[in-house]
Structure 1
C-alpha cells in the first residue's frame, strides 16, 4: 500500500507546483494562509483597506521569491515573516508621511469577518454580535503595537508561545509578559465599554418575536 504524503511533503509539492506556475496551487496557498496573514498585517496597520493592499504586495513578493523557500521553517512561518515585514515597512512609511503632513481622519469602519460568528437568521442578534465584535476590534486596535502583535498572533491566530517568539524575533519570556499585559489592557477597555452594549444582549425581537407570537396565537385558536 503506497504511503500517503506527510504534511511537509504535501506542502513541498504545493510549493513546487506554484513555482512552476500552477494557478490552482497558488490559489490553494492563498486560501490556506489568507486569514492568518490578513490578521497579522491588520494588527500592524490598523486599517482594513491598507491591510488588504499590504497583503497583496506581500503575496506578490512571496510568489516572486518562492524558489527561495528552503523549507527550513513552515510555509506559514515564511509567509508570515514576509507579510509582517511588509506591514512594518508600510507603517514606517506612514509615520514618515504623518510627520511631513497633517493626518487625514480615518473613515475605515468595516468589521473584520470572523467565520461562523455571525448567524444569518436573526438581524437583531447579528447587530448585537457585530457590536461586541466591534468592541473587541476597537480594544485590540488601541493596544500599543508590541502588545497588539503578540495578542493577535497568540490569541486570535492561536500560535504557540514558541511560534510567536520565533515569528516576532523576541524571547519567549517577552511573549508571555506582553500577552499578560495585552490581556489586562483589553479586559480594562472592554469593561469600560461593555455596559451600553450589554443592554442589547440576548435580543428577542423582530422575526423571532413575531414567530413566537404567531405560534401562540395559533395554538390558542385565536383569529388574526
Structure 2
C-alpha cells in the first residue's frame, strides 16, 4: 500500500496522539499534518514566549517540527506528544537565543528586585462585558499579550503553559524541566505581577491570546510538509 493509499484509509482527525505517532512511524506523512494542526497553537505560543517575535517564532517552530519528524521513532510516550514536541521547540528557541548571545539566566529573573516593574499598566474595564464589541475585545487581547510579554521569562513560560494552554502542574513541570513546587511558586508570582495589570478582563481575553489559527497555521503546516516531503523519513 502506498503512502497516499494509507493516508486515504485513515481519518486522522479521529485518531488519538499515540495512533497518529504510529502512523507517522509507519510512513504516513498525512498523520504528521494532523499532529501539527493539533499542536501548532501551543508550539507557537511557547516559542513566542521565549523569543517574543512572531516571525522568528514561526521559523523556530518549523525547525522543531522537522527535528521531531526526523526523530519520531524515538518517541516512547513517556510524556504526552504535546509535551515532547514542546520540549523540542523550547530547545530550538533557547538555542536561537544562545546564538544571538542574548540569553538571560533564570537565576537573574528570580533574584531581580525590579520584577514588578516589568508589567505594563493595564486599566480596568469599566461597565459590563459586551460580546458584540469586537474592537474592544481585540484591544484587550492586545494589551494582555503585551502584559504577558512584560513578565520575566521564568514566570512567563509557566504562565503560558498553565493559564493560557491549560496544562496541569505536572505537565508544565515536565515540559520546562522544573520541580512541581517551582511551577507553583512561579505561577503565583506571575499572577501577582499581572493582577493589577489585567484585573477582571483576563478571563475574557485569555483564550484568544497569541492566536495561531487560519492562514498562518495553514502556511506553516504546508511549509513543514514540503520540507519533510524531501526527507527520506524518520531515522
Normalization by structure 2: what TM-score? Answer: 0.63
Deviation track 1:41-65 (CA, whole Å, cap 9, x = no partner) reads: 1111111111101000000100011
Q: Does 1:75 align with 2:75?
A: no
**The 10-residue stretch of structure 1 (12-21 or 145-154) with the greater mean CA deviation from structure 2:** 12-21
Determine if contact 1:41/1:51 at 8 Å carries over to the other structure.
Answer: yes
Deviation track 1:165-214 (CA, whole Å, cap 9, x = no partner) reads: 111111111111111111111123336xx9xxxxxxxxxxxxxxxxxxxx
Find the aligned partners of 1:11 and 1:157 in 2 and give their Cα distance.
17
- Selected match of 1:136 from 144, 148, 164: 144
Q: Does 1:18 align with 2:24?
A: yes
Aligned-residue offset at 1:34: 0.8
**Relative contact order higher in (CA < 8 Å, ≥ 6 apart):** 2
Find the aligned partners of 1:139 and 1:163 in 2 and give their Cα distance.
24
Structure 1, unaligned stretches of length 5 or more? 1-8, 98-118, 195-224
Deviation track 1:2-43 (CA, whole Å, cap 9, x = no partner) reads: xxxxxxx94333112213332320111001111111111111
Moved runs in structure 1, 4+ residues, more than 6 A?
none
Q: How does 1:188-207 map to 2 (within 5 A)?
A: 188-190=196-198
Find the aligned partners of 1:171 and 1:10 in 2 and give their Cα distance.
28
RMSD across aligned C-alpha pairs, in angstroms?
2.1
Deviation track 1:147-170 (CA, whole Å, cap 9, x = no partner) reads: 000000100001111111111111
Aligned residues: 159
Determine if contact 2:172/2:183 at 8 Å carries over to the other structure.
Answer: yes
Find the aligned partners of 2:174 and 2:17 in 1 and give their Cα distance.
20
